[in-house]
């Protein structure tokens, strides 16, 4: 009887022994596990990015326009100035023109920004009601002047009624804005949509009354081309029917010395051309690319205003708005921060 309590105590110790050992060894095991984990992490090395990943990480696709137009030339100049090796690579893309560039922004893979004409959005409003939310402007660039070039027998806009007028190929600025302007001016003409080079040859033969260019002056075809006496640009009056999208402009002898006499001016109108971007979500990689592109462009705008680049850059106002569109958030942030910095330094 007296040995029973001792026996019970012995059995209890034997039963508890594994638990006591486990309790004592758990800190050691934990430390061992930590050491093993540390060694595992130290031994694991993430592979370096491949050349494909590196070149695509900060590449921005910029839809410019036709080879003979001003937008693609300015896009190429932007690409040169903002280039930052693997940190930023802008690809200017030759397209069908500023109007077609809206399609490029909406649907073409790899396009983050584009140059468009302001009245291009008029057509898309009926097709895409929220078009103004999908696109945002970065910069108001320059005006694209309307050039109505006619044969010698054409003396006024009304003389074109019922005659063949070429508006370049479909998708170009002239093919879209030209008929829209002619409609607002009440001019019912036979609209032709063929390459301007072909149409100019037909004009020389008397088969075409006029060609309509809408691009930034000067146009190479008129600077380098040779035309018979009497070929000329028609004046276009600016009135209330054109105020919503267009601006008054002129063509001068300094633009086309072979077609306009020294000291003379031809009144016309201009379509504002803007640099716009797809309105990417702010937390996306594509947004970050465009934001870096904007920072490089705005910070180096003075380089584009140097003599080696297109003179249009000298008239660029970073703060100028584009009617009908909101500014890309990163562009607005850049402008606001630099305005505050300028005020603080004064």
Q: Are strands 59-63 and 89-93 parallel, antiparallel or unpaired?
A: parallel
What total number of domains does the chain contain? Answer: 2
Pick the last residue of a domain from 240, 272, 304.
272
Rounded to 5 degrees, what are φ and ψ at 194?
-130, 165
Residue 38 structure tokens: 């540390």
Q: How far is CA 155 from CA 2, 65, 161, 231, 238, in A?
A: 136, 32, 12, 10, 18
The Cβ of residue 153 has, within 10 Å, a number of other Cβ atoms equal to 10
CATH of the domain at 192: 3.40.190.10
Pick the last residue of a domain from 256, 272, 288.
272
Question: Locate tokens 């022994």: which residue?
Answer: 17
Does residue 243 form part of some domain?
yes
124 and 245 part of one domain? no
**H or E element in which residue 12 lies:** helix 3-43
Q: Domain limits at 59?
A: 52-141+273-345
Greatest mean pLDDT among 61-70, 133-142, 150-159, 171-180: 150-159
126 and 181 part of one domain? no
268 and 149 part of one domain? yes
pLDDT at 55: 79
Pick the last residue of a domain from 272, 298, 322.
272
265 and 278 part of one domain? no
Whole-number average pLDDT of the chain:
86
Q: Are 84 and 74 in contact (CB under 8 A)?
A: no
pLDDT at 42: 47
Q: Please, which pLDDT band fits residue 99 given cuts at 50, 70 and 90? A: confident
From the centroid of its chain, how far is CA 130?
18
218 and 135 part of one domain? no
Rounded to 5°, the CA angle 245-303-57 comes to: 85
Q: Quick one: angle between helices 285-299 and 70-82, nearest 10?
A: 90
183 and 287 part of one domain? no
pLDDT at 41: 46
Q: Are 144 and 66 in contact (CB under 8 A)?
A: no
Rounded to 5°, the CA angle 202-208-210 comes to: 115
pLDDT at 209: 98
Does residue 125 form part of some domain?
yes
Does residue 329 form part of some domain?
yes
| Burial of 119: CB neighbours in 10 Å, binned 0-12, 13-18, 19+ | buried
pLDDT surpasses 50 at 249:
yes
Does residue 17 form part of some domain?
no
Q: Are 130 and 325 in contact (CB under 8 A)?
A: no
226 and 311 part of one domain? no
170 and 317 part of one domain? no
**How far apart are alpha carbons 187 and 169 in whole angstroms?**
20
**How far apart are alpha carbons 246 and 146 in whole angstroms?**
10
Residue 93 structure tokens: 């893309």
137 and 283 part of one domain? yes
Q: Are 173 and 214 in contact (CB under 8 A)?
A: yes
| Segment 11-48, tens digit of pLDDT | 444 454 444 444 444 444 444 444 444 444 445 567 88
240 and 291 part of one domain? no
pLDDT at 342: 66
Instruction: Give just the sign of the alpha carbon dihedral 295, 296, 297, 301.
Output: positive
**How far apart are alpha carbons 312 and 97 in whole angstroms?**
19
**How far apart are alpha carbons 311 and 13 in whole angstroms?**
96
Residue 100 structure tokens: 């077609």
- pLDDT (mean) for 267-289: 94
| Segment 64-94, tens digit of pLDDT | 988 877 889 999 999 999 999 999 999 999 9
């Amino acid at each position: 009887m007296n040995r029973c309590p001792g026996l019970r105590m012995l059995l209890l110790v034997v039963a508890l022994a594994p638990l006591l050992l486990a309790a004592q060894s758990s800190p050691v095991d934990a430390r061992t596990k930590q050491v093993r984990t540390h060694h595992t992490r130290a031994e694991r090395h993430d592979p370096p990015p491949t050349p494909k990943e590196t070149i695509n990480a900060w590449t921005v696709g910029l839809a410019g326009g036709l080879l003979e137009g001003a937008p693609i030339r300015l896009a190429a100049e932007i690409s040169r100035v903002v280039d930052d090796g693997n940190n930023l690579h802008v690809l200017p893309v030759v397209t069908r023109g500023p109007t077609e560039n809206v399609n490029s922004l909406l649907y073409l893979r790899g396009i983050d920004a584009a140059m468009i004409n302001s009245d291009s959005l008029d057509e898309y409003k009926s097709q895409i009601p929220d078009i103004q939310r999908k696109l945002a402007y970065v910069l108001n660039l320059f005006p694209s002047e309307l050039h109505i070039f006619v044969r010698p027998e054409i003396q006024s806009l009304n003389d074109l009624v019922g005659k063949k007028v070429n508006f370049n190929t479909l998708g170009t600025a002239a093919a879209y804005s030209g008929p829209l302007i002619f409609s607002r001016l009440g001019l019912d003409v036979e609209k032709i949509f063929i390459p301007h080079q072909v149409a100019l040859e037909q004009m020389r033969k008397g088969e075409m009354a006029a060609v309509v260019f809408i691009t930034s002056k000067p146009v190479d075809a008129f600077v380098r081309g040779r035309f018979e006496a009497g070929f000329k640009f028609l004046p276009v009056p600016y009135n209330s029917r054109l105020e919503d999208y267009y601006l008054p402009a002129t063509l001068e002898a300094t633009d086309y010395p072979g077609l306009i006499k020294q000291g003379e001016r031809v009144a016309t109108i201009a379509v504002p051309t803007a640099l716009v971007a797809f309105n990417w979500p702010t937390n996306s990689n594509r947004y970050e690319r465009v934001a870096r592109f904007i920072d490089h462009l705005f910070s180096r705008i003075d380089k584009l205003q140097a003599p080696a680049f297109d003179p249009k850059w000298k008239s660029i106002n970073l703060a100028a708005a584009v009617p009908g569109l909101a500014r890309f958030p990163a562009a607005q942030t850049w402008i606001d921060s630099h305005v505050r910095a300028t005020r603080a330094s004064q």
